[in-house]
Amino acid sequence: MDVEQGNKEIAISQKWPCLSQFFAKVKSAFLGFLKKIKKIAMDDPRRMIHAIKVGLTLTLVSTLYYVTPLFDGFGESSMWAVLTVVVVMEYTAGGTLCKGLNRAFATVIAGSLGVGAHHIAALCGQKGEAILLALFVFLLAASATFSRFIPEVKARYDYGVTIFILTFSLVAVSSYRVDELVQMAHQRVSTIAIGVATCLCTSLFVFPIWAGEDLHKMVASNLDKLASFLEGIGTECFGEKANFESLEGKPFLQVYKSVLNSKATEDSLCNFAKWEPCHGNFSFRHPWKQYQNVGGLIRQCAASMDALSSYLTSFSKTKPKFKADAELRLEIQTACREMSSESANALRELSLAIRSMTVPSLARCHVSAATSAAANLRTVLSNDITVWETVHVAMVASLLAELVNFTEEIACSVDELAELAQFKSTDSVHSAAVKPVLEEETPQQVAIDISS
């Protein structure tokens, strides 16, 4: 059978080679896509729950259309409930609360203002009304749009401002055509309220996904990542079988990288967490702001790790072989092992303390052990005043040399940009200027370097 089928396939592929190739490609692309989808769902099963919740909420509010008595009550306004659900449902409970409450309040305020604008404009006759309404809409839309550039408004009420402009414009402008404005406004506000309420119910009571909990866990897991880096440094660089030569490609040198770009997620989670009611171990006034402070320090620490990591990698490429001054080297090595392992322990303790929401009592001991190791190292180094000073100046020089490397990389990258974007060549313009610079500058630098 298999042979026969194989022959058939060969026959097909000989007849339509392009077609069979095409199907093979489609098949592999489809399988790859399925694999990707599966991975996304497996990485965090709450994503599937969220998708089901959105479908459910939408089906729920659409009963406003299917059930005749309900539809008779709300009429065409029922669509506002559907619209509200689609735009308000967010992944986290805090996100839905933020958007839902923004939408509800903005609708009520802007709706009232719109009705007010209608009454004022109605005093000016048919033509005057249109002009006055247009003016109101222009002024309000322009000033509300400008208010979105105020950082505080942008952070917490951006969506509310959009809805404010939307509702005011819709109410004010339709008031020109609709006779029973108050009834229309009433219907819309009720359906929007129904939409928001349904969203809040599914968000808060059906498998709720709390932004606060995610933020809490994220900070703890970021601490763990920093700890893993330090543990790696401790064993790979200063452990008993330490070996600087084979550092490149080690996973622990990459583990902190995701921490560096965690600010945006952290900020949005923190913003949403502030809207959430008390849940689990978190009260309504939980100090979410402090998580941002801790997160900021964590990112600074990760940036320092980045510097250390790139220094270690470039250093390990030089295949160092230590021979001289074995005693000093041993002292430094021991101190480094102490510093890295104790700091790692402290960070693990802190992470554990956050996870279990207990006071981090043991972390203090580890931190003081690490700082005392650092202080000892300073004493050891400063005993030999020449070494001490040289180390400091050379350290700055090494960090600067690192910057020189980056400058070179940036220059290459900009060159690539210039090529891709077809930047103009300056050869024709500067041809007279380039040579003298080369002649004057480079020898001068060489001269300085040699004389120094």
- Could you say which residues in the range 82-121 bind a copy of itself, by CB under 8 A? 82-83, 86-87, 89
Shortest Å distance, C-beta 18 to a copy of itself: 28
Residues 122-161 that bind a copy of itself (CB under 8 A): 130, 133-134, 137-143, 145-146, 149-150
Shortest Å distance, C-beta 433 to a copy of itself: 8
Question: What are the phi and psi torsion angles at 279 (to 5°)?
Answer: -155, 140
Alpha helix stretches (DSSP H) within 208-325: 211-238, 257-260, 263-273, 288-316
Shortest Å distance, C-beta 251 to a copy of itself: 19
102 vs 220: CA distance, rounded Å? 31
Residues 53-82 that bind a copy of itself (CB under 8 A): 54-56, 58-59, 62-63, 65-66, 71, 76, 79, 82
Shortest Å distance, C-beta 209 to a copy of itself: 13
223 vs 344: CA distance, rounded Å? 9
Shortest Å distance, C-beta 21 to a copy of itself: 25
SS3 279: strand
229 vs 233: CA distance, rounded Å? 6
The amino acid present at 127, given as its one-letter code, is K
Residues 214-273 that bind a copy of itself (CB under 8 A): 223, 230, 233, 237, 260-261, 263-264
Indicate the residue among 246 and 304 with the shorter CB distance to a copy of itself: 304
Q: Tokens at residue 164, please? A: 């404010």
Indicate the residue among 10 and 321 with the shorter CB distance to a copy of itself: 321
172 and 144 in contact (C-beta within 8 Å)? Answer: no
* Nearest Cα to Cα of residue 102 among 200, 181, 169, 209: 200
Give yes or no for residue 445 binding a copy of itself (CB under 8 A).
yes
Shortest Å distance, C-beta 1 to a copy of itself: 37
CA–CA distances in Å: residue 227 to residues 233, 247, 369: 10, 18, 16
Indicate the residue among 6 and 55 with the shorter CB distance to a copy of itself: 55
Stretch 376-415: interaction string toward a copy of itself, x if CB under 8 A:
xxx-xx---xxx-xxxxxxxxxxxxxxxxxxxxxxx-xxx
408 vs 108: CA distance, rounded Å? 58
Give yes or no for residue 189 binding a copy of itself (CB under 8 A).
no
Indicate the residue among 20 and 176 with the shorter CB distance to a copy of itself: 176
262 and 299 in contact (C-beta within 8 Å)? Answer: yes
Provide the phi-psi class of 206: left if phi over 0, else alpha when psi is between -120 and 50, else beta: beta
DSSP string covering 244-274: GGG-TT-GGGTTTHHHHT-HHHHHHHHHHHT
Shortest Å distance, C-beta 7 to a copy of itself: 40
Shortest Å distance, C-beta 273 to a copy of itself: 12
Give yes or no for residue 340 binding a copy of itself (CB under 8 A).
yes
Among 29, 42, 52, 155, contact with a copy of itself (rule: CB under 8 A): 52
Among 3, 18, 420, 432, contact with a copy of itself (rule: CB under 8 A): 420
Shortest Å distance, C-beta 125 to a copy of itself: 13
* Nearest Cα to Cα of residue 181 among 171, 190, 189, 167: 171
Among 1, 18, 359, 432, contact with a copy of itself (rule: CB under 8 A): 359
Among 169, 198, 203, 271, contact with a copy of itself (rule: CB under 8 A): 169
Shortest Å distance, C-beta 25 to a copy of itself: 19
CB burial string 313-344: b at 16+ within 10 A, e below: eeebeeeeeeeeeeeeeebeeebbbbbbbbbb
CA–CA distances in Å: residue 390 to residues 56, 382, 396, 400: 69, 11, 10, 15
Question: Which region, judged by CB under 8 A, interacts with a copy of itself, from 5-13, 20-28, 93-101, 331-339?
Answer: 331-339
Helical (H) or strand (E) element with 132: helix 125-147
Residues 268-307 that bind a copy of itself (CB under 8 A): 286-287, 290-291, 293-294, 297-298, 300-301, 303-307
CA–CA distances in Å: residue 59 to residues 6, 103, 187, 195, 200: 48, 21, 20, 11, 15
Stretch 15-34: interaction string toward a copy of itself, x if CB under 8 A:
--------------------
Among 4, 205, 425, 436, contact with a copy of itself (rule: CB under 8 A): 425
